[in-house]
Structure formats: structure tokens, C-alpha cells
Amino acid sequence: MLLTNGHIATLQNDDSFGLIEGGVIAIDRAHVAWVGSAADLPDEYANHTRHDLEGRLVTPALIDCHTHVVFGGNRAAEFEQRLNGASYAEVAKAGGGIVSTVRATRAASEDALLSDALKRVDAMIAEGVTLIEVKSGYGLDHDTELKMLRVAHKIADARSIHVRASFLGAHAVPAEYAGRPDVYIDEMCIPTLRAAHAMGLVDAVDGFCEGIAFDVAQIERVFAVAVELGLPVKLHAEQLSNIGGTQLATKYAALSADHVEYATDSDAMALAKAGTVAVVLPGAFYTLRETQAPPIQSFRDHGVPMAVATDCNPGSSPLASPLLTMNMACTLFRMTPLEALLGMTAHAATALGEEKRGRITAGAHADLNIWDVAHPAELSYRIGFNPLHSRIFKGSL
Ligand code: DI6
Ligand code: FE
């Protein structure tokens, strides 16, 4: 297939949108075979079926590299209680918080978890997402963690979307292990990781390194097993405080360190050296009304690739709109529209270890978006407006 008369944002490098006016993309099965100006089109593609884009903008399809879209129930009641004046402790006493999501996720059937997750995934697809990362971490027991991972993979059977699943057993300490986080890691988290890996359910290993979750030594025990199993790691690090998660992540050459509001300049240097992507999550920053923004200028100065993701979850980021997320990255974190788009394409791909996605070049996977806008900055600029015209998934419209 030949896509003709496109306004193509190739994102071939990080310095510009790489715009081509009157551009052509040749697609051979599921890959981009050639991209460039119509005048330069090689003869071998001249007879391919043509599809006229009528001057519309083409970008790589969007990638959401950090989501928790699989979970039971929701936390709207808790949201309402807090806005009516209840304190965090009162909400927790009334059974709210992350433990309520764990309870609902354990109780939900696999079918119910899938159909709930698909509602969120459909919202993402409608805005041009073709690849999502999905985490476990609301089961916190053997059976429910495996159930969540199976549901994550079933999303890719049910919809035109690619899924990468991350094991997040080290997300929180469940009630039955209260006050015994080390026992939880050794007795439940690590054996469940081994079982999930043996079933082929795990693409990467994640953890929540935070005062309210697990410390560096506890996460490191999980990472050691990931290394033994040949799985890449990533980490929720420096979201609410700095306890050394970013340094730990870089020691293990992590794919990404995520949140990173409290990362320092030396953390940024370590990220750059390790080639670890900083994933910023403005939806959580917004929902928690955080005031410390991630050190974007420091990431720029040291050349740290920055990705942007929804963090879609029922507690700290009930956000299923990638376009709003890009807008928030610009408005809340002062990222540029180019950085926001790279953050949901090329750098999100890197954060998932997917080097052949997120840019429009020969050899890349042909997952593309066609938009009814004149310039790519418009994707980050508008709020509550979806200009997606169509999506190309695995080379097909
Ligand atoms: N970061 C967060 O902000 C949460 N999990 C995480 O790793 C919150 C999860 C929740 O409240 O359900
Ligand atoms: Fe998260």
C-alpha cells in the first residue's frame, strides 16, 4: 500500500518533527518500506495501491508505556469522600485506598476484569494508541497476580492493540503480610514472578520503590531474580520522595525509571549513562496535586530520553486519554509539543525495549496515525478534542 499526499511527522531524530510535505509512505505488509517526498518515490513502488491522505498529518501511532488498566472496581466513592472533607486516614479506615482495589480485583472474574479494562483501552485506541504496557500489582497473591497478567494478554486478542505485560508484585504489602514486607517479597512476590515467567506471561519486572511501599534492598531482591530469568526491569521511583530508586534502576540498566518527580541532577546523570528512559506521569502529578515537578531541564541537559504515559490506575491517575496526558506534560511540566509527542512515540518505544516503533523510517512497524490537524503541535495544544481520522495497525487501515 502507498499512502500519498501526507503531511508526515517522521520523528526520525529528536531535534524536530521531521516534517515532509506532500509525503509518501510505502507499506509492505506490516512494515514501512519507504518514506519520503513524492518526487523521490522509487519506481518499484509506483504500482502499489494508493491511498490519498488529502494532506492530513501522519505520525507514528501512540504508545502508552505505563498503565495499570487491569483492576477491579473503581475509587469514585473515595474521591467523593475526600472532597467532602474526609482525611486519608478516614478513607483508609472506611476500607478505601489501594487495599480496596486489591479486594475488588481478587473478587472479580477474569471476564469482568477484561471487559472493564477494555472500556479504558477503547478510549486509548480512539485517540490512536496501538501499544500499551499493562502491569499486575492489584492482586498481591499468587492467583490474582497471574489472573491480572492473563487478562493483560487477552486485551491483545480482543482488540487491535499490542500489549507488553509487566509483573508488579512489589506494588504494595497486602493486609495478610502487614508489617512483614520482607516475608511478602520472599514468600509471595518472588515465587509468583517465577511462576508467571514460566507461563510466558511476563515481559518486564517493575516495582514501587517508595516510603509507603518497598525500599531499595527489597526491590533489589526482586530485580536479582529478574536478571536470573533474563527479564528487563523498570521502576516506580522518586514519586513522593527520593529514597534511591533511580540509582537502583540504573544499576540494573532498567528500561525506565517512572514518575521521577524527586529525582536529582545526579539521578539524571545516572539515567543518561545507563540509557534508562525517564517516564513522566502528569496524570498522577495532577490527581495528587503534587507541587514538585520532575527535573525536565536536568533531563534535557544530560540527554535523558523522556517518555510520557497515562499511568491509568484507579487511585492516583484515573486517566485514559493519551492526548490529555500530552497536554498535561506541556502545561504542568513545561515540556514542548515535540517532547510530548516523542514521549508518547519514540521514547515510549525505547522504554519498552521496542526499537522498531515510534518513528516513521524504513524497517519500522507500520503502526501509524492519520490526524485531521495541520501541525503536530496541535495534538498537545487542544483539551478534550480528538482529531484522530484513522489508525493504521500492522500495516492495515
Ligand atoms: N504509583 C501510584 O501512584 C500508585 N501506584 C503506584 O505505583 C497508586 C496506586 C493506587 O492508588 O491504586
Ligand atoms: Fe504506576
pLDDT tens digits, 351-368: 999 999 999 999 999 999
pLDDT for the residue 88: 72
Q: What is 162-216 written as a DSSP string?
A: EEEEEEEEET---GGGTT-HHHHIIIIIHHHHHHHHHTT--SEEEEEESTTSB-H
Q: How far is the CA of 10 from the centre of ligand 2 (A)?
A: 29
Cα distances (angstroms) measured from residue 279 to each of 252, 260, 359: 16, 8, 18
Distance separating alpha carbons of residues 151 and 155, to the nearest angstrom: 6
Q: Which pTM was predicted? A: 0.98
Asked whether 246 lines ligand 1 (CB < 6 A), one says no
Asked whether 96 lines ligand 1 (CB < 6 A), one says no
Q: How far is the CA of 138 from the centre of ligand 1 (A)?
A: 10
- Residue of the CA atom closest to atom 11 of ligand 1: 315
pLDDT digits 0-9 by tens, 69-115:
999 999 999 999 989 998 877 887 777 889 999 999 999 999 999 99
Please calculate the CA angle 360-362-57 and round it to the nearest 5 degrees.
30
pLDDT for the residue 75: 95
Asked whether 284 lines ligand 1 (CB < 6 A), one says yes
pLDDT for the residue 189: 98
Mutate to test the pocket of ligand 1, among 208, 258, 279, 287 (most ligand atoms within 8 A of CB): 208
Taking the CA of residue 138 as reference, the ligand 1 atom at the shortest distance is 12
pLDDT digits 0-9 by tens, 202-231:
999 999 999 999 999 999 999 999 999 999
- Residue of the CA atom closest to atom 2 of ligand 1: 316
Taking the CA of residue 317 as reference, the ligand 1 atom at the shortest distance is 3
| Residue 33 identity (one-letter amino acid) | A
CA distance from start to end of the chain = 10
Q: How far is the CA of 208 from the centre of ligand 1 (A)?
A: 8
Q: Which domains does the chain have, with CATH numbers?
A: 2-59+358-392 (2.30.40.10), 62-351 (3.20.20.140)
Asked whether 371 lines ligand 1 (CB < 6 A), one says no
Distance separating alpha carbons of residues 317 and 296, to the nearest angstrom: 20
Which residue in this structure is represented by grid cell 477494555?
118
pLDDT for the residue 92: 75
Residues of the chain with pLDDT under 50: none
